[in-house]
Amino acid sequence: MSDKNVKEIEDLIKIISKLPGLGPKSAKRIVLKLINNREDLIKPLTNTLAQVYKNVIRCNICGNLKSINGKCICSTKKYDQICVVENIADMWVIESTGIYKGHYHILGGTLPSFETKNSGNGLLIQSLVNRVKKENVKEVILATSASTEGETTSHYISDSLKGTKVKITRLAKGVPVGGEIEFLDDGTLYSAFKNRNLLPNE
């Protein structure tokens, strides 16, 4: 197959090579696979993508993904622990280890390291405080990364939770400095969870 003259193919390769872990070479292989399986792959993929685009949104309370027509897990199940993560990938990693069974709160990023007092920079922080107050939460586990931004965010959140009486813990320092949760092995994550540190809340 030559992709030199077909604009549609070139466009598709460009889009697919933007996906994580894929360069132009693997993007071309994927496109070739798609082209050779129009009915089995292109058709269902097109439909599924359209459905996801139309129906899947972020919950504005917990930051998790939810169906536009359904209720989010944060409003249907009760837990007394909330684990705060930066993004959905981090939540999936923690979930896959089976270490933790409670609720999650997905911030949608971190605060810049120079941030001090502001409104939280568009992250779902005020919404976390509201959840803690409303849902009778016993513990907030801060599982932001060990980067400067992750630490700044963790401090900002524990400051914001002052006065709520909730127990605030932070993943243990087993997480390497600059360590992204997403790339930790199960053993490191397990011990970081198990040996989490209590932060002052008064």
Tell me: does residue 62 bind Zn ion (CB under 5 A): yes
Other CB atoms within 10 Å distance of the CB of residue 24:
11
CA distances from 126 to 7, 56, 132, 137, 160 (A): 46, 23, 10, 15, 8
Name every residue whose Cβ is closer than 8 Å to that of residue 146 and which is 6 or more positions away in sequence.
171, 173, 175, 176, 177, 178, 179
- Residues 30, 61, 172, 199: which binds Zn ion (CB under 5 A)? 61
Applying CB under 5 A, which part among 21-29, 30-38, 54-62, 111-119 lies near Zn ion? 54-62
Among the residue ranges 7-15, 49-57, 58-66, 107-115, the one whose residues contact Zn ion (CB under 5 A): 58-66
The verdict on 35 binding Zn ion (CB under 5 A) reads: no
Stretch that binds Zn ion, among 73-81, 118-126, 144-152, 163-171 (CB under 5 A): 73-81
User: Would you say 107 or 175 has its CB closer to Zn ion?
Assistant: 107
Binding Zn ion (rule: CB under 5 A), the pick from 9, 13, 72, 129 is 72
Closest CA to 86 of 182, 9, 167: 182
> Using CB under 5 A as the criterion, which residues of the chain lie in contact with Zn ion when the complex forms?
59, 61-62, 64, 72, 74
